[in-house]
Chain A
Amino acid sequence: MSAHDDDVIGKAYDSRLMKRLLGYLRPYLGQASLALAAIITGSVLQLAPPYLTRLAIDNYIAHRDVSGLARIAWLYLAVLLASFSLEYLQTWTMQLTGQRIMYDLRMEIYRHLQRLDLRFYDRNPVGRLMTRVTSDVDVLNDLFTAGVVAIFGDVFTLAGIMIVMLGMNWKLALASFVVLPLIVVVTQWFRRNVRESYRVVRGWIARINAFLQENLTGMSTVQLFRREGRNFEKFDEINRAHRDANVDSIFYYAVFYPAIELVGALAASIIIWFGGLDVMSGTLTVGVLVAFLQYSARFYRPISDMSEKFNVLQAAMASSERIFTLLDTPVAVTSSSSPVVPARPLRGHIVFDHVWFAYNGEDWVLKDVSFEVRPGQRVGLVGATGSGKTTIINLLLRFYDVQKGRILVDGVDIRQLEIATVRQMFALVLQDVHLFSGTVGENIRLGERSIADDAVRRAADAVRAGRFIDELPARYDAPVAERGATFSTGQKQLLSFARALAFDRRVLILDEATSSVDTETEHVIREALGVLMDGRTTLAIAHRLSTIQDMDRILVLHKGVLRESGTHQQLLAQRGIYFRLYQLQFKDAVPRSA
């Protein structure tokens, strides 16, 4: 669970955040006002039943006035129906508005995420970003639907009850108000403890889940190493802690409900005692006493609701803080404000001119790298892991910007071009093929509607992907499972080739797959690569040197420095880094006995 760092709960109210949050309510002011009006009217109507009871007892039962009773009954009915309609109206408008706001927020976050640069993605794991888009936004939903507006309702209800009671008999009213602080204390005590124990319980649930997840995925390992017993003990430990945390939290519930009832009973006793004395002395009617009993029973709801809202507010502040931090993250890589528009389509003449780059501070990953790729050339990049190969690709696509030096495309610094213009020049094929859920066809053309069905098919056929696609029941409409789980590594590879070919870009950027596939697939992939590179400028990161031996030029990177450059034969003749890399890779084939 990525939620651990998100568990921190801060203050319940922050005017800066609140103001910004309320800004989202602006487009829906009409609905919000309607809901507010409904909630206030509704809370006034809620005051009616005990009062009507009082009237029935004091005025009509006492005077045996049946027609008066009928009037009260009709009034009562009208109040019930009106309450029903108002409550429905309020829930409907408010919840719907909440949903619309959530929708707006989600879109805003998502839109921003589509613009943020890769540095941001490096720092923020996908799980955390998902939390922003889903759970954090949902927490805010509660704020709008259950929080801001409903709190008015609670205040009005409580104030209304107190005013009516004061109006009927102020002395008795004041006496019964004694229980109000008690309700507040009990409720606060309960909320605080329950919140805390809920947090503890949730922590254990997360650990149970993590443990299960890991043990189920790694069950063969557990079984092979006979760890069933020990791991069961570990599980039992977590499971037990979870149970105990839950049992602890039962205590609070077990105390709370009886305690609230006891406070209610205290109110009733007070009213019976003081009110009864007044009735004896003739200063109070039985009807008022009964109405007081009924009103006092209604103290609890608004107080408990308000205390619940405190939690909602607190959670909402924490979530909105996180959301706004994301929204306020500036986009580091942007298009130039006055972009150079190339006179003719870019040909893909690439120049790295004394490029320096670091992901962190002065930790240079590329040091003063210069090279040139002319249109139509095929250039291979080799070097050990961490030598900076991938970084070169990242910079070329403007996933990041260089710190020193510059990258030129057709003589123009790529930072002076529109980002889209730059990226439109490249087709990127990555080691780990990323497939989207959707159909096979959609995975080739992505969202590009201009790529027609037959173009998709042609591309797939050209890179030898057509054969296995045609064997699928729905062919190009066949669904792709999560992360393409139903396809083999080789098939995914071919799909990504088809994608690159369908987009028909000037420059092919290839990060060769390291995962081994069987020989036949290997052969097909190599053929397909040939098709893909045909007539295209190619920049390829190679892990198997055999792939790039026939490249026009090979660049050898070592610890961020471009150390060697030349053809395969030239580099071998140099007997430098490339030679050693090559030796390493084929060492196995040297017969020991020879």
Chain B
Amino acid sequence: MGPPSAGSSPWRRLLPYFTRHTRALGFGVGSIVLTTTIQLLGPWVLKYAVDDLQHGVTRGKLGYYAALLFAVSAGGGLFRFLMRRSIIGVSREIEYDLRNDFFAHLQRMPPEYFRARRTGDLMSRATNDLNAVRMMAGPSIMYASQTTLVFVVGMALMLSIDARLTLIGLLPLPLVSISVKLFGSAIHRRFERIQEQLAEMSAVAQENLSGVRVVRAYGQESAELEKFHRANEEYVSRNRGLIRLQGAFYPSMTLFLGFGALLVLWQGSRDVIQGRITVGQLVAFNAYLVMLSWPMIAFGWVTNMLQRGFASWGRMLEILDAPPTIADPPDPVWLDPASVAGRIEIRGLSYTYDAQPVLQDINVTVEPGQTAAIVGPTGSGKSTLLQLLVRLIDPPPGTVRIDGVDVRDLPLSTLRRTVSVAPQEPFLFSDTIEANIAFAPEIASLPPEARRAAVERAAADARLDKDLADFPKGYDTLVGERGITLSGGQKQRTALARALVTDPRVLILDDALSAVDTYTEEEILERLRRVRQGRTCLIVAHRISTVRDADLILVLNAGRIVERGTHDELVALDGQYAELHRKQLLEEELEHLGEEGERGEPGETVVGPNFSSA
């Protein structure tokens, strides 16, 4: 289940996570009551034992007291065990539910959302903040209720012994709570400052170590050492600030608790002399005081825990409450992805990002089975156009249609089952090559042999097969952090295979071969000619050879289609496309010059094979 709707109070939003575990929680609270009550009996037994010792005692009574003490502890312990298991157990359940909800929510967020924030920040909310929320949901509840109970009942018992002594003995105890509270938050603040500096120091080292060549080549070792020295020094100095506080924290608690014991000893002993109380009562009183000291510490601690947990829960809600801006339509149009014809229609599409027009008034129709190519300089809006088609970015309603249906009216899964994308900068998961290619669920869930066969076919079309022959483990080779590092071209080809393996009705290649060497690219294009049969293809590319076969070539510049037509038409038009074509021809002429051994002036006529905007 998802988190409750946004807008209600943060506490209310947390409540459902608890109500799922009402029974376990009830059981836990019951255990708290029992364990506390039983525990508080202990000193009472002691009181009778000591008093009886002074006024004559029998062996029977002595054995009875000794056994009672043990039994009280055993009984209290049993319920304490149950208390911890149920309450802390519930907090782990809540943590688990929250983390799942958090992840499920992020899975529904569009790419733009992730661009706007750092992964590290989201990670920290899923770990650090979540942990603080768990502490609030588990330990803090457990200790808070236990503390309150011990405090109320313990105080009542102490009062029943002697009111004045209670008052005097308890005098220093609030100091304990206050100091835990104050020290606790101050220590936390300083600790965070230390963590910041640790991050800073790590960054200095990280940069130095990863840039070792630059550092050495420019002889910067001592300057770098100096930089690290400063960061290190600052780290130590911030630690010093923490030590000053921490050094005082624990001793001062011992001191304040000691004051209580001292006052009880002083006043209590005089009370005994005056006959107001018995020695047994004094001993019991002392024991209660010790029992109370923990709640006093816990009280300050719990307050901090609640504060931190609440702040963290707020940070998590920020994420959980962000609505997914790209989602399934409320009344989706159902299409069968396998029988889509693949007619792509873009009508009057304009798209603005950050007040900058990225695409303006795009109108184009790609008939089923056709291949359309898009060329244009960097930043002309080519990739944006493709992203709108698969709703990685949302197009304005009614502007982008597949088989006449607005892409916004299709369920996301149908749209993305219909259209497959091979991007320029592919993302591979640290898994085997096979798992990366068989990424789409319908392929991943095939039986192993069928899956391997499909993967092999796609890898052959993407010309990844020849690389795989060199890998000792072939398709089972791990890639990423724990495995091998693929070259840019290998990554692109893996991603191409991943797109091809689903046999999509519409295939998009977003400059997907830019890092592939020319020879291999030629091989891939050869194979793609066959693959393209019967599917609609959209290709963004830089090289003329990639696009010249296309049924339709669009030249995009500054978000507008400035030229459209077939290769021959565009060359005849003598515009930007023809310019690009000319430049690439020039390269070829150069080559012929070289062949004939003539001295040219290559330095002056050199032009890159890239598209040049006029």
For B611, what are the chain A residues with a Cβ–Cβ distance below 8 Å?
Answer: 519
For A129, what are the chain B residues with a Cβ–Cβ distance below 8 Å?
Answer: 205, 209
Q: Render B367-382 as a binary contact track against A, CB cut-off 8 A, 1 for contact.
A: 0000000000111000
* A217-B119 CB under 8 A given contacts A114-B224, A121-B209, A258-B80: yes
A434 contacts B585, C-beta separation under 8 Å: no
Q: Which of A61, A217, A437, A546 contacts B269 (CB 8 A)?
A: A61
* A423-B81 CB under 8 A given contacts A221-B426, A226-B440, A240-B96: no
A133–B199 CA distance with the chains assembled, in angstroms: 12
With an 8 A cutoff between CB atoms, is A583 at the interface? yes
In this complex, which of A223, A514, A586 has the most chain B Cβ atoms within 10 angstroms of its Cβ?
A223
With an 8 A cutoff between CB atoms, is B588 at the interface? yes
Which residues of A, 214-239, contact B by the 8 Å Cβ criterion? 214-232, 235-236, 239
With an 8 A cutoff between CB atoms, is A568 at the interface? yes
Q: Which of B226, B262, B283, B585 contacts A447 (CB 8 A)?
A: B226
B607 contacts A130, C-beta separation under 8 Å: no
A372–B600 CA distance with the chains assembled, in angstroms: 26
* A289-B53 CB under 8 A given contacts A212-B103, A224-B392: yes
With an 8 A cutoff between CB atoms, is B100 at the interface? yes
With an 8 A cutoff between CB atoms, is B77 at the interface? yes
B262 contacts A590, C-beta separation under 8 Å: no
With an 8 A cutoff between CB atoms, is B27 at the interface? no
With an 8 A cutoff between CB atoms, is B186 at the interface? no
* A220-B81 CB under 8 A given contacts A290-B50, A588-B518, A588-B609: no
* A213-B224 CB under 8 A given contacts A83-B254, A246-B92, A546-B607: no
For B54, what are the chain A residues with a Cβ–Cβ distance below 8 Å?
Answer: 286
Q: Render A230-265 as a binary contact track against B, CB cut-off 8 A, 1 for contact.
A: 111001100110110011001101110111011011
Q: Render B411-424 as a binary contact track against A, CB cut-off 8 A, 1 for contact.
A: 01100110011000
B378 contacts A517, C-beta separation under 8 Å: yes
- Chain B residue with the shortest CB-CB distance to A102: B236
Listed stretches B156-164, B299-307, B591-599; interface member: B591-599
With an 8 A cutoff between CB atoms, is B296 at the interface? no
B92 contacts A397, C-beta separation under 8 Å: no
* A115-B221 CB under 8 A given contacts A107-B229, A217-B427, A226-B417: yes
With an 8 A cutoff between CB atoms, is B334 at the interface? no
A253–B77 CA distance with the chains assembled, in angstroms: 12
A272 contacts B209, C-beta separation under 8 Å: no
A522 contacts B610, C-beta separation under 8 Å: yes
B225 contacts A61, C-beta separation under 8 Å: no
For B585, what are the chain A residues with a Cβ–Cβ distance below 8 Å?
Answer: 589, 591
A209 contacts B217, C-beta separation under 8 Å: no
A101–B164 CA distance with the chains assembled, in angstroms: 52
A103–B439 CA distance with the chains assembled, in angstroms: 48
A76 contacts B262, C-beta separation under 8 Å: yes
For B236, what are the chain A residues with a Cβ–Cβ distance below 8 Å?
Answer: 99-100, 102-103
B100 contacts A522, C-beta separation under 8 Å: no
Listed stretches B61-69, B352-360, B448-456; interface member: B61-69
With an 8 A cutoff between CB atoms, is B602 at the interface? yes
CB distance from A54 to the nearest CB of B (A): 11
A210–B127 CA distance with the chains assembled, in angstroms: 12
Listed stretches A157-165, A274-282, A403-411, A460-468; interface member: A274-282
A214 contacts B73, C-beta separation under 8 Å: no
B202 contacts A130, C-beta separation under 8 Å: yes
B106 contacts A219, C-beta separation under 8 Å: yes
B107 contacts A232, C-beta separation under 8 Å: yes
For B591, what are the chain A residues with a Cβ–Cβ distance below 8 Å?
Answer: 572, 582-583, 586
With an 8 A cutoff between CB atoms, is A64 at the interface? yes
A544 contacts B74, C-beta separation under 8 Å: no
For B518, what are the chain A residues with a Cβ–Cβ distance below 8 Å?
Answer: 584-585, 587-588
Listed stretches B1-9, B398-406, B461-469, B541-549; interface member: B541-549
A212 contacts B216, C-beta separation under 8 Å: no
With an 8 A cutoff between CB atoms, is B308 at the interface? no
Listed stretches A8-16, A20-28, A90-98, A362-370; interface member: A90-98
Which residues of B, 89-125, contact A by the 8 Å Cβ criterion? 89, 92-93, 95-96, 99-100, 103-104, 106-111, 114, 119, 122-123
CB distance from B286 to the nearest CB of A (A): 8
A549 contacts B603, C-beta separation under 8 Å: yes
With an 8 A cutoff between CB atoms, is B447 at the interface? no
Instruction: Give the interface size bracket for A toward B.
Output: 35 or more
B77 contacts A259, C-beta separation under 8 Å: yes
Q: Which of B205, B265, B421, B480 contacts A76 (CB 8 A)?
A: B265
CB distance from B508 to the nearest CB of A (A): 10
Q: Which of A130, A426, A585 contacts B217 (CB 8 A)?
A: A426
Inter-chain CB contacts under 8 Å: number: 432
Instruction: Give the interface size bracket for B toward A.
Output: 35 or more
For B603, what are the chain A residues with a Cβ–Cβ distance below 8 Å?
Answer: 549-550
A497–B94 CA distance with the chains assembled, in angstroms: 54
Which residues of A, 430-472, contact B by the 8 Å Cβ criterion? 430, 434, 436-437, 446-448
With an 8 A cutoff between CB atoms, is A428 at the interface? yes
For B528, what are the chain A residues with a Cβ–Cβ distance below 8 Å?
Answer: none
Q: Which of B96, B214, B421, B594 contacts A430 (CB 8 A)?
A: B214
With an 8 A cutoff between CB atoms, is A482 at the interface? yes
Q: Which of A91, A247, A446, A588 contacts B223 (CB 8 A)?
A: A446
With an 8 A cutoff between CB atoms, is A569 at the interface? yes
Listed stretches B15-23, B175-183, B238-246; interface member: B238-246
With an 8 A cutoff between CB atoms, is B430 at the interface? yes
B217 contacts A73, C-beta separation under 8 Å: no
For B544, what are the chain A residues with a Cβ–Cβ distance below 8 Å?
Answer: 588-589
B210 contacts A239, C-beta separation under 8 Å: no
B248 contacts A88, C-beta separation under 8 Å: yes
B251 contacts A83, C-beta separation under 8 Å: yes
* A231-B107 CB under 8 A given contacts A246-B92, A273-B63: yes
For B123, what are the chain A residues with a Cβ–Cβ distance below 8 Å?
Answer: 209, 212-213, 216
A262 contacts B74, C-beta separation under 8 Å: yes
For A95, what are the chain B residues with a Cβ–Cβ distance below 8 Å?
Answer: 239, 243, 246-247
A557–B251 CA distance with the chains assembled, in angstroms: 71
Q: Render B498-516 as a binary contact track against A, CB cut-off 8 A, 1 for contact.
A: 1000100000000000110
A589 contacts B587, C-beta separation under 8 Å: yes
- Chain A residue with the shortest CB-CB distance to B80: A258
A536–B137 CA distance with the chains assembled, in angstroms: 68
A111 contacts B232, C-beta separation under 8 Å: no
* A69-B266 CB under 8 A given contacts A92-B247, A212-B123: yes
A286 contacts B53, C-beta separation under 8 Å: yes
A126 contacts B85, C-beta separation under 8 Å: no
A251–B77 CA distance with the chains assembled, in angstroms: 13
With an 8 A cutoff between CB atoms, is A270 at the interface? yes
A110 contacts B205, C-beta separation under 8 Å: yes
Q: Which of B59, B108, B279 contacts A57 (CB 8 A)?
A: B279
With an 8 A cutoff between CB atoms, is A60 at the interface? yes
A518–B378 CA distance with the chains assembled, in angstroms: 5
Q: Which of A226, A265, A584 contacts B70 (CB 8 A)?
A: A265
- Chain B residue with the shortest CB-CB distance to A1: B481
With an 8 A cutoff between CB atoms, is A420 at the interface? yes
B74 contacts A64, C-beta separation under 8 Å: no
CB distance from B373 to the nearest CB of A (A): 14
With an 8 A cutoff between CB atoms, is B276 at the interface? no
With an 8 A cutoff between CB atoms, is A424 at the interface? yes
A103–B219 CA distance with the chains assembled, in angstroms: 24
A459–B517 CA distance with the chains assembled, in angstroms: 35
For A573, what are the chain B residues with a Cβ–Cβ distance below 8 Å?
Answer: 594, 597
16 further interface pairs, Cβ-Cβ under 8 Å (given A91-B247, A265-B70, A446-B223): A84-B251, A99-B236, A99-B239, A111-B225, A118-B216, A212-B126, A219-B114, A224-B420, A227-B441, A235-B100, A257-B84, A290-B50, A423-B218, A518-B610, A518-B613, A589-B587
- Listed by A's residue number, 18 A-B pairs whose Cβ atoms lie within 8 Å are A56-B265, A80-B259, A87-B254, A99-B240, A103-B232, A106-B228, A114-B221, A212-B122, A217-B427, A220-B427, A227-B439, A232-B104, A261-B80, A272-B49, A276-B49, A277-B59, A397-B213, A427-B218
The 3 closest A-B pairs by CB, nearest first: A447-B223, A258-B77, A265-B73
